[in-house]
Structure 1
Amino acid sequence: ASEPFSLINPQTSANSDDGYWRRLASALTKPLIGTVFVILFVITFAFSAIPVIVPLLGIAFFGFAELEMSYFFMYIGVVQIVLQGLLIGRLTKRWGEENLMVFGSLLMALGMLFMPLFPSIAVFVVSITLISSGIGTLNTVLPSFISKRTPADEQGGMLGVAQSVGSIARIPGPLVGGLIAEFAGLNVAFLLSATLVTIAFVLGFKLFRAHRFRGQSTEAGSCPSHRGMG
């Protein structure tokens, strides 16, 4: 009797898993790329709780129903489309990816911090704008940073690992956010998310300083050769 046909070769699957973990381990050992992977995980985990805790806050503060909350989530999508489609290229050219990592994390942290503190529609809208602008910025500049600082023959694999890291971070976020909101309160859920994003902000700031210092060291190292040629 013939062997049953299988679409998945166990050996191929094992090799694929080994390759994934090797690429992930390789990324984490590189100071710049490893830091970006940590930022990506933290930011994605924190933002994945937003679809749970923001509607709960809208109900608690303003008595919003599903229709009203759907408008706000449509607004989040519009903000990200405008940012990523029209503005992010200009912002990247002007400020650089490292600055935008810091700025995007700061926007998210401020939005998550202020939203539960003031039961005001204006504060609610401004906070949503800050959060959606921050995540829209980070979702663009983080993969770009990884791609530009990875050898051409490794870019596809490294970006695939980055995508899987983001997917893994999205799994527990809504559950954790909902449980914290239920048992500790909405303020605690938002504060925890803001704290996580603040950690990403600090990491991004350190990344910016390290990258700038490396650039200055490179320029300083090239100065003697120029003087010698003169």
Structure 2
Amino acid sequence: MDRNAAAAGPELSPARKRTVIRATYVIAALDITWMFLQFSVTPYLAKKLGLDTLWFGYLQTMVGVLQLIGNPLFGRFGDLFGARAALSLSCGATVVFFLLLASAEHPAMLFIHKLPTLFMHVVPACQMVVTDLSEPEKRAESLSKIGLCFGVGMIVGSTLGGHLNTLYGEKLTACVGAAGSLFSLMLVLKFIPKTTKSSAAKASTEAEKKSLFSLGEITRLLKYPGVAPTFIVKIVSGLPSGIFQVMFSIIALEVFKLEPQQNGYLMAFFGISQMVIQGAVIGRLTARFKERSLLLLSIAGAAAVGLGQAYMQTVVHLCLTAAPMMLTLSVFNVITDSILTKSVPSADSGTMLGLCAAEQSLLRTLGPTLGGFLYVNGGIKAIGLTQCVVNAAVFVVLLLLQPTSKSPALRESNQRPDKQH
């Protein structure tokens, strides 16, 4: 081992890695629980404080913009300063977020309480830890378990937030979120090491002394072989699905006339479906098939789901499309994240995951505007057909245009024969 690698510190033992990964899953599940808990607070508090639908939309757009800016910088922060610092910053910002929400007495405070979202990136930070500590061939399966945590948090957070808000009001519910986020911070300080990078990656980062705010250092990752095409596919194919997600509450209310209780049951169904898919399905798929095959399958599935959504007329039809929708979304997000992180050096995995998270923020920022336009002019049929046509076109392009230059990780996954069990 060279001098720089030795100075970077010893590698974590396999047992220590497993402990850190398990703790990371718990931290991710708790963070998602607190976020869904606040979803049961903000709309009702906004209504009490006199915020109309238009201004509430501005509030949501503000969050999307802040996260769009913060995600790449935060990923870079994690690469430079380590996992513990990144998760501590995120959990600390979440505590401030809930305390400001609990003290909101004026509509302006609702906007002020969203400012900490610039630093609230617990899930990308957890993905960074799992990426650093998992073996490349098991990375997709390890990342999929973050999605399992999402399903758990969705169900627990929505249920807990609804009961607390009904029984005790918005302020106490927000205080519970602050206390929960403080507990998450304590778990970070207890279980997460200062850095989860390998010795070679740590030595490389320390030797180069890169700048946190260097846009060039962030965007240079797009120059690695295979990264830019995969990132374009992630944005283009993911946008129509993102539009449906951000428009879902309106669709549920206006098209299917769902009452709040019925909507809660439907959200629980989505959460359970995601838990089953992330926990029991994706790991088996990634062990059996090549990543490129799964990517094509998820895009083709998204096109079929879009066609089904365009012509659904009842809640039963919606439920029938929900399971394949969750499956295609989960596979698509896990596989693209896995391909992209394996296409760049391990020292830059956090920055790459930050860019992936920024893509999600971009979709949430553009989705309401594009979704509103499609819905007003063509209803749910226009949204579904857009998803079908866009994903079908991406599928055909990927089949016809084989990439001439691939990243080593993607090339390896394409050359490896499908495993049969």
Deviations 1:6-54 (A, max 9, x none): xxxxxx66x4323223333x15xx3x32221012112332222223444
Distance 1:74 1:207 in 2: 40
Q: How is 1:132-211 mapped onto 2 (pairs within 5 angstroms)?
A: 132-205=326-399
If the length of structure 2 is used for normalisation, what is the TM-score? 0.42
Q: Does 2:219 correspond to 1:21? A: yes
> Secondary structure of 1:115's match?
helix
Distance 1:17 1:145 in 2: 22
- Alignment match, 1:5: none
Between stretches 197-206 and 131-140, larger displacement belongs to: 197-206
Q: Structure 1 170/155 Cα, relative in aligned 2: closer, same or farther at 3 Å?
A: same
Alignment equivalent of 1:35, drawn from 221, 229, 244: 229
Unaligned 5+ runs, structure 1: 1-11, 220-230
One-letter amino acid matched to 1:139: N
> Secondary structure of 1:201's match?
helix
> Secondary structure of 1:185's match?
helix
What is the CA distance between 1:203 and its match in structure 2? 4.5
Alignment equivalent of 2:322, drawn from 119, 128, 139: 128
Deviations 1:98-138 (A, max 9, x none): 11111112222211211231424443212111111110111
Count of paired positions: 200
Q: Structure 1 88/147 Cα, relative in aligned 2: closer, same or farther at 3 Å?
A: same
> Secondary structure of 2:214's match?
helix
One-letter amino acid matched to 2:275: I
> Secondary structure of 1:119's match?
coil
Q: Structure 1 73/208 Cα, relative in aligned 2: closer, same or farther at 3 Å?
A: farther
Distance 1:53 1:160 in 2: 25
- Alignment match, 2:43: none
Q: Structure 1 20/43 Cα, relative in aligned 2: closer, same or farther at 3 Å?
A: same
Which structure would you say has the larger RCO, counting Cα contacts within 8 Å and 6 or more residues apart? 1
Q: Structure 1 154/205 Cα, relative in aligned 2: closer, same or farther at 3 Å?
A: farther
- Alignment match, 1:72: 266
Q: Structure 1 218/82 Cα, relative in aligned 2: closer, same or farther at 3 Å?
A: closer
Alignment equivalent of 1:99, drawn from 288, 293, 297: 293
Unaligned 5+ runs, structure 2: 1-210, 417-421
One-letter amino acid matched to 2:215: D
Is 2:291–2:335's contact at 8 Å kept on the other side of the alignment? yes
Q: How is 1:202-221 mapped onto 2 (pairs within 5 angstroms)?
A: 202-205=396-399
Percent identity of equivalent pairs: 22
Alignment equivalent of 1:110, drawn from 263, 288, 304: 304
Is 1:79–1:129's contact at 8 Å kept on the other side of the alignment? yes
Q: Structure 1 160/57 Cα, relative in aligned 2: closer, same or farther at 3 Å?
A: closer
Distance 2:311 2:293 in 1: 28
Q: Structure 1 61/153 Cα, relative in aligned 2: closer, same or farther at 3 Å?
A: closer
Between stretches 159-168 and 135-144, larger displacement belongs to: 159-168
What is the CA distance between 1:91 and its match in structure 2? 0.6
One-letter amino acid matched to 2:346: A
